[in-house]
Amino acid sequence: MSRWEPNARERLAKAALELYGERGYEQTTVAEIAKRAGLTERTFFRHYADKREVLFDGSSALQELFVNAVAEAPQSAAPIDAVAAGLEAVSTVFVGRHGHARRRHAVIVANAVLQERELIKLASLSAALADALRRRGVPEPAASLTAEAGVAVFKIGFERWVEAAEERTMAQFMRESLDELKAVTAGG
C-alpha cells in the first residue's frame, strides 16, 4: 500500500483540463486544480513547470514520433515526402481521440497565452524536423523551409480535422493540406 494515490500527474492534467473548460483558464487558480486532484499547489509545480504546461504533456512524444518517421523514410524519398511520412505517422495516434482533442483545442483557442505555448511547441517540432532532414543530407535553408512547410500543413490539417465531424481520418486532412500547399507554391 502506497502512501499516496497513484497517478498524481495524470490526475492533475485531468483536473486542469476540466477546470479550464468549466470556468476558463484565467479564472482557474493552480490551487483549485491541485485541490480537485487531491494535492497541493506545490506538488502541481513539481509535475508541471507552469500553469500552461499541464495541457501539453504528450507533445514531446508526438515530436519524437514525427521525427523518427522522417528519419526512417526511404533515402530515395524527397525531403517533402519524408515529411509526408511523418504526417501519416502522427495522424495514427489521434485515432479515437477526436473528442479529447476537441475539448483541449477549444480551451487553447480561447486563451492567447495558451496559444503562445502551443506555437512554441510547434516551433520546437519544426526545429527537430529540420535537424532530421539535415541528417538525411538536406542542406540549409531547404531543411528549415521544408520543416516549416510541414508544420504549416500539420497545423492547418489539425485545425480542419478538429473542427470537422469525426468520420474522416486525420491522415486524409493532412494529405489534402499538403497537396494544397504544393499547388499554391507551384510556379514562379
Partner DNA sequence: ACTGTCGATGTCAGTGACTGTCATCGACGC
Partner DNA sequence: GCGTCGATGACAGTCACTGACATCGACAGT
Residue 13: contacted member of DNA, a copy of itself, none (CB under 5 to 8 Å, by partner type)? none
State which of residues 14, 45, 65, 128 lies at the interface with DNA (CB under 7 A). Answer: 45
Look-up of cell digits 494535492: 39
- Mark the segment that binds a copy of itself (CB under 8 A) among 18-26, 27-35, 66-74, 140-148: 140-148
Residue 91: contacted member of a copy of itself, DNA, none (CB under 5 to 8 Å, by partner type)? none
Residue 23: CB partners within 8 Å, gap ≥ 6?
none
Per-residue binder mask for DNA (CB under 7 A), 72-111, x = binder: ----------------------------------------
Report, in Å, the least distance between residue 21 CB and a copy of itself. Answer: 22
Residue 141 preceded by cis peptide, ω within 30:
yes
Measured distance CA(30)–CA(15) in Å, rounded: 10
CA-nearest of 85, 58, 79, 69 to 147 is 79
